[in-house]
Chains A and B, each alone.
Chain A
Amino acid sequence: MEQALDTTLTVNGQSVTRRIPARMNLVDFLREELGLTGSHVGCEHGVCGACTVRVNGEIVRGCLMLAVQADGCAVETIEGLSDSGELAKLQKAFHEKNALQCGFCTPGMLLAARDLLKRNPKPDREQIRAHISGNYCRCTGYQAIVDAIEEVVAHG
């Protein structure tokens, strides 16, 4: 019998308890069990960053963390961070600068950008590029994304 573990975590501020198979990835748990499909699955081996979520304040690859490892953790996703308004400035800038096309990488990209600005409110273009370099975008060539983040840096 496959092992499942009782796991309690906070997802977007709400406490969730589920019995979770040991091998289930955090991002699959969020998508399949909780219906939070805003975090996407692009490569499942930790390279593309589409599955980026925030765990205890740090962004991680949702595909390289087991859901059971999140026991006791505070997990935040694009849905929660949109509702709380924490991403509002970045979302506005992404919209105004056309920093998204197909939208698949966008949630992960927003989380990576927010992580950067939390730690370094005044990054230059090179630092912006470096910090989002763990997130693949195949549509934009990244330029508009860098522009958008720069816009938030310049105008808050």
Chain B
Amino acid sequence: MGAPLIGARIPRKEDYRFLTGAGQYTDDVTLPRQTYAAFVRSPHAHAKIKSVNTAKAKGAPGVLGVYTGEEIAAAKLGGLPCGWLITDVNGQPMKEPPYPVIAQGKVRHVGERVAVVVAETQEQARDAAELVQVDYEVLQAVADGRLARAKGAPQLHDIAPDNTCYVWALGDKAAVDAAFAKAAHVTKLDFVNNRLIPNAIEPRAANGSYSRADDSYTLYVSSQNPHVERLLMTAFVMGLPEHKVRVVAPDVGGGFGSKIYLYGEDVVVTWASKQLGRPVKWTADRSESYVSDAHGRDHHTIAELAMDKDGKFLAMRVKTTANVGAYLSTFASCIPTILYATLLAGQYTTPVIHAEVTAVFTNTAPVDAYRGAGRPEATYVVERLVETAAREMKMDPAEIRRKNFIRSFPYQTPVALLYDTGNYDATMDAAQKLADVAGYAARKKASEAKGKLRGLGYAAYIEACGIAPSAVAGSLGARAGLYEAGEVRVHPTGTVTVFTGSHSHGQGHETTFAQVVADRLGLPVENVDIVHGDTSKILFGMGTYGSRSIAVGGTAIVKALDKIIAKGKKIAAHLLEASESDIEYANGEFKVAGTDKKKMFGEVAFAAYVPHNYPHDKLEPGLNENAFYDPSNFTFPAGTYVCEVEVDPETGVVKIERWSAVDDFGKIINPMIVEGQVHGGLAQGIGQAMTEGAKYDSHGQLVTGSFMDYCIPRADDLPSFQVDTRETPCTHNPLGVKGCGEAGAIGAPAALINAITDALGVKDIPMPATPQTVWRALQQKKAA
């Protein structure tokens, strides 16, 4: 056997097609007799629809069908469901207003679907969409979550008074209040975690087709979880038999959360394909993406940290208003609660924590999970508080963290999670070394000599990944299980195809999973292919989000592999005329222990499919196994990021001079892929802190609705990152893995804002800290 495959920097198996333009994304799929859909969207944030006149559009060249909310209602298509029920502080269920696939009677955000035109060509569909006449009665709008509950605020939904979806809390309030009462010092911050727009470079797309032959549908869709999409669409919206719908998520050009959800467009093209008897394709243009993809973050938080005189944390109190937008998207309700408040312990032994979260409806696009989903918001709260506390207490920011690190595992936090393992000193030590913190003072001096300001900031983050134990999730309101499924199909010649319910849209599953399989089976990695993204091929799947693929999906595959090996041993025992208990499997060989009698993996596979000499009385032919894996706990990746910036005080321009990241992802399968995930996450976290931010004006118009106005980082905006890892294997999955996809986005914003505020000598600065914001902070400081 060659070098070990676990931990190997194997270049990705999937690269060839992407490097040569042979990838197949949803918009690349054009079906015979293809038609094209264009949506008419609301230009208003809040309005009554008095009438929709489609006559002109229907008569336009090439138009095959025009549908409004009326037709959708007549067809008895249900609303889009929310997958997580939150129970509020009074024990009442959250308010779940109907979320129609096409607006009915009222629009509640700019970009909401009002009608759809299907035509022979994209051009004709777009032209005809311009001819749909909608008569609106414009209503007052509210876009800012902080104003949603104000007296006299416009009301979005009849069933949600005061625009309140829920008020939810976690933790022991009395104990927290008591701890604050005796604190030597309290650090308090009041800030907004800015709304973000995910901006996968591939816009959302969907292509539905109906087959009269067997009354079935196929939907090609740019999705992170085709099975969930199918389940929600068939069971909750369209009332179709699940087995009559095939959902294919082919190559997907990035998701970052925004492609987890079931969207109205997906339902409409599927439904319309039956009405017209022809496939219907819709691909978002970027303007549509901005106003109709689910957004992320958008919290307003007041957070306090109580300490004793030595900087030991006594308690934390957090009050957050989460803007969920106009409707509840698929997972919207659990993001600012289950995935947020539970992470407020961070890496620290803070004994008591109380969080209260109020989710409000506003006239903005729905907000749901975006890379990190709740955990970046939590990390931002904790790490901004801790850094600010250190400054106020005149303590070294690394020391105050060390003073409070959790060191004994398993550790039960006061906010429900049980950390299985971790070593926060290890990542902090390594990060400080990598960042050359020792040399910082000299670098700061050099900057000052040039008239520049230099700052250094830390973030020591933790996240809960590997979502999730279904029973735990269920008790918290999840309406679905959160296991993963895998199937290992050994072919007669001994090559292997693995089917996984995880979906890869950049994460490199086709390589990482193949490494796991090839390693376990002792086969060359070339002999293993991974298949994902098609409900007709894969038995089931919950999809890819929450950094769960390797921890949950990978483990499901391992469990199936165990079954393959167990069956292989039985077959080998028969072939080798030995006792099954004497068969060992290693390096691709079934061996009789202590002898040189052996059968190669391929020979056993062949025997399974050509069972001439086979224990038919005990075994079925064939070598194909599947497994479902439901994790027993979350995994807890953690790490420390150190950011060093130089600020030009005259312009407010911030340059990231150094970025050092040390993560603990548990066991690492492919370090090169992991580094790529960290880099990408950091880029998005830096984007949040420095350049990105969705802005709605007071009328609910999105003023950052294009790539020109919403600045995602470009190649010349980012530094080269220094990344490293430390490893404490996860204790409860066989691979010891934790997940790595979101870490960068979770830890980066706090590190960067900590560095910028350090450079400026100010307590806080809003995100994104654009040059104008930084300059303004300096002007205010000068004036004060």
- Cβ of B718 within 8 Å of any chain A Cβ, yes or no, is yes
Question: Does residue B203 face the partner (Cβ distance < 8 Å to A)?
Answer: yes
Q: Is the CB of A102 within 8 A of B679?
A: no
Q: Which of B1-25 contact A (CB under 8 A)?
A: 11-12, 14-25
Chain B, residues 185-218, CB within 8 Å of chain A (1/0): the string is 0000000000000011111000000000000000
Task: Provide the bound-state CA to CA distance between A50 and B202, in Å.
Answer: 9
A78 touches B202 (CB 8 A): no
Is B27 in contact with chain A by the CB < 8 A criterion?
yes
Q: List B491-550 residues whose CB lies under 8 Å from chain A.
A: 505-508
B285 at the interface (CB under 8 A from A): yes
Chain A 39-61 interface 0/1 with B at a Cβ cutoff of 8 Å (1 = within) = 11111110110100000000000
Tell me whether A98 and B676 are in contact (CB under 8 A). Answer: yes
Q: Give A59-88 interface residues, CB cut-off 8 Å to B.
A: 77-79, 82, 87
B579 within 8 A of A: no
**Residue B720 interfacial (CB < 8 Å):** yes
Do residues A138 and B17 form an inter-chain contact, with CB atoms below 8 A?
no
A123 to chain B, nearest CB (A): 12
Check A102–B506 contact: CB distance below 8 A: yes
Q: Which residues of A contact B271 (CB under 8 A)?
A: none
Task: State the CA gap A146–B19 with chains docked (Å).
Answer: 16
Q: How far is the CA of A105 from the CA of B676 in the complex (A)?
A: 15
The residues in A between 13 and 60 inclusive whose CB is less than 8 angstroms from any CB of B are: 21, 23-24, 28, 31-32, 36-45, 47-48, 50
Decide if B27 touches A142 in the complex (CB within 8 Å). no
Q: Tell me the interface secondary structure of chain B in the complex.
A: loop
Q: Any chain A CB within 8 A of the CB of B721?
A: yes
Among A96, A142, A144, A145, max chain B CB count under 10 A is at A142
In the bound complex, do residue A143 and residue B720 qualify as a contact, i.e. CB atoms below 8 Å apart? yes
In whole Å, how far is B705's beta carbon from the nearest beta carbon of chain A? 11
**Are the C-beta atoms of B716 and A133 separated by less than 8 Å?**
yes
Bound: A31/B21 CA distance, A: 11
- The minimal Cβ–Cβ distance linking B719 to chain A, given in whole angstroms, is 9
Q: Are A44 and B285 in contact (CB under 8 A)?
A: yes
- Contact for B721 among A98, A126, A137, A143, CB less than 8 A: A143
Determine if A130 and B716 form an interchain contact, defined as CB atoms under 8 angstroms apart.
Answer: yes
**Complex: how many Å from CA A2 to CA B60?**
13
**Closest chain A residue to B673, Cβ basis:** A98
Check if A141 sits within 8 Å of B716, measured CB to CB: no
Q: Which residues of B contact A31 (CB under 8 A)?
A: 28
B350-373 toward A: CB 8 Å interface, digit per residue (1/0)? 000000000000000000000000
Residue of A41, A140, A146 near B720 (CB, 8 A) is A146
A residues near B784, Cβ cutoff 8 Å: none
Contact A42 B718 (CB under 8 A): no
A132-B707 contact, Cβ under 8 Å, with A38-B20, A139-B506: no
Q: Chain A residues near B676 (CB, 8 Å)?
A: 98, 101, 139-140, 144
With both beta carbons as reference points, the residue of chain A lying nearest to B285 in the complex is identified as: A44
Report the bound CA distance from A46 to B283 in whole Å.
17
CB-defined contacts of A79 to chain B, threshold 8 Å: 20-22
Assess the B708–A47 pair: CB atoms within 8 A.
yes
User: B715 contacts A135, CB within 8 Å?
Assistant: yes
Instruction: Output the nearest chain A residue to B29 by Cβ-Cβ distance.
Output: A37
Q: A48-B707, A136-B201 are in contact. Are A96 and B11 (CB under 8 A)?
A: yes
Contact status B201-A129, CB under 8 Å = no
- Nearest CB to that of A83 among chain B residues? B20
B517 to A: closest C-beta gap in Å:
20
Residues of A within 8 A of B23 (CB): 38, 103-104
Question: Which residues on the A side are within 8 Å of B679 (C-beta)?
Answer: 140-144
When C-beta atoms are compared, the residue in chain B nearest to A143 turns out to be B679
Contact (Cβ within 8 A) B716 A102: no
**A37: B residues at CB distance < 8 A:** 21, 24-25, 27-28
What does the 1/0 interface line of B714-735 toward A look like (CB < 8 Å)?
1110101100000000000000
**Interface segment, B78-86, B230-238, B248-256, B323-331?**
B248-256
Nearest Cβ distance between residue A80 and chain B, in whole angstroms?
9
Q: Are B19 and A137 in contact (CB under 8 A)?
A: no
B 618-633 binary contact with A (CB < 8 Å = 1; else 0): 0000000000000000
Q: Can you give 6 contacting A-B residue pairs, CB < 8 Å?
A: A21-B123, A37-B27, A47-B706, A138-B200, A140-B676, A141-B679
Which 9 A-B residue pairings sit nearest by Cβ, starting from the closest? A38-B21, A103-B18, A104-B253, A102-B506, A101-B506, A141-B683, A78-B21, A141-B679, A47-B707
